[in-house]
Amino acid sequence: MSTPQTLTVELGERSYPIHVGAGLLSRPDLIRPYLRGDRLLVVTNTVVAPLYLDRLLSTLHGLKVDSVVLPDGEAHKTLDTCQRVYDRLLDKRFDRKCTLIALGGGVIGDLTGFVAATYQRGVDFIQVPTTLLAQVDSSVGGKTGVNHPLGKNMIGAFHQPRCVLADTDTLHTLPDREIKAGLAEIIKYGLIRDSDFLQWLRDSMPELLNLEREALTRAILVSCRIKAEVVAADEREGGLRAILNLGHTFGHAIETATGYGVWLHGEAVGAGMLMAAWMSRDLGWLSDSEYDLAENILHGAGLPARPPAGISPNRFMELMAVDKKAEAGRLRLILLQGLGNAVVSDAFDPASLERTLDHFTGGH
């Protein structure tokens, strides 16, 4: 049994550890210290349950554990699905000292976290993210929530987990596209805050794509550390935290234009980051060699080099303007002033945005 590496997210009395490593699903010692009572509800989905639910349940042997298996997919990240979890909790008379365990990807994590935030006005929860994206994204920040037909994540709450177990073994059953989508998020942390990490990512891309445990563990830990630093400085989303959305405004436009789920979120963000980098170079904020490095890494991770064909610049503008970051009518974008230094700006030359959209959509 290898020793997991641990990052503590410092949030005063709500501080919690993120354990990263192989075989963590079989480690009751990493879960038990965080239980206030002995009643647990594992929330998972129809894809993850056959793979990992039994292992987790046997790890929790001796505790009073129920589980609920939800349908898989973003389409089920709704209040209606929450209702099924509330039903189970009440039907089985879970009290306020219970703990929910989210076993799955981002949808399961966000939804379970939201139910935990709102069941009897807040109970504990533990995250066991089983996708690379969830391991580096949902593990930090306390964002929980579900979708509304008129917008993603429109209903939610801030609620911190008691601990996070990121078991790199679970990535071996993850489809290749989802590994790459997770790498997009990891690359993002380098782009916004840490150029050394970015260099390391370029050099380690083969090992990462090969799912080598040591490289994965480091990539996940550094990503979580960077996200935690940004979030700690801005827990409730005043300003700095917005840099975590690098590539997201372009990316959301892609996701909306193609219909959610056609492109993975990470794929859309990957293309969006390239667009943000291109625009940053166009503005003179990135050098050619910096842009080339960014492009090189995104390409090396197998991420799309441009948006799908058929989205006109005008359509892009339209979709970006309704993005929730477009407060009070001004479009704010996350751009790069050097690698490892993202900024939030609404003070860019609009012509540069037009050139960027033309470049990436022009021939298509």
Q: Which residues are catalytic?
A: 121, 143, 185, 227, 237, 241, 245, 248, 252, 265
In whole angstroms, the minimum distance from the beta carbon of 79 to its own copies comes to 6
In whole angstroms, the minimum distance from the beta carbon of 107 to its own copies comes to 17
Coil, strand, or helix at residue 10? coil
Stretch that binds its own copies, among 128-136, 172-180, 252-260, 323-331 (CB under 8 A): 323-331
In whole angstroms, the minimum distance from the beta carbon of 70 to its own copies comes to 17
Judged by CB under 8 A, the residue of 36, 64, 148, 330 near its own copies is: 148
Judged by CB under 8 A, the residue of 47, 65, 155, 317 near its own copies is: 155
Task: Determine the Cα–Cα distance for residues 342 and 243; give it in Å rounded to an integer.
Answer: 6
For the chain, give the longest Cα–Cα distance.
Answer: 64
| Binding track, positions 231-260, relative to its own copies; x by CB under 8 A | -----x------------------------
Contacting residues for 278 by C-beta, under 8 A, at least 6 apart? 291, 356, 359, 360
Cα 361 to chain centroid distance, Å, stands at 27
Tokens of 364: 């298509």
Coil, strand, or helix at residue 322? coil
Judged by CB under 8 A, the residue of 75, 90, 233, 262 near its own copies is: 90
Q: What crossing angle do the helices spanning 248-258 and 265-282 adopt, rounded to 10°?
A: 130
Let me know how long the chain is: 364
Contact call for residue 324 and its own copies (CB under 8 A): yes
- In the bound state with its own copies, the residue whose beta carbon lies nearer, of 61 and 121, is 121
DSSP 272-283: HHHHHHHHHHHT
| Binding track, positions 45-84, relative to its own copies; x by CB under 8 A | ----------------------------------x--xx-
- In the bound state with its own copies, the residue whose beta carbon lies nearer, of 32 and 148, is 148
Contact at 8 Å (CB) between 138 and 35? no
CA distances from 159 to 240, 298, 315, 361 (A): 19, 32, 36, 39
| Binding track, positions 104-143, relative to its own copies; x by CB under 8 A | ----------x--xxxxxx--------------------x
Contact call for residue 95 and its own copies (CB under 8 A): yes
- In the bound state with its own copies, the residue whose beta carbon lies nearer, of 141 and 304, is 141
Contacting residues for 156 by C-beta, under 8 A, at least 6 apart? 110, 114, 117, 143, 144, 145, 146
Tokens of 49: 């349950």
Stretch that binds its own copies, among 16-24, 69-77, 156-164, 286-294 (CB under 8 A): 156-164
Binding residues (CB under 8 A) for its own copies: these are: 79, 82-83, 86-87, 90-91, 95-97, 114, 117-122, 143, 145, 148, 150-151, 153-158, 236, 324, 327-328
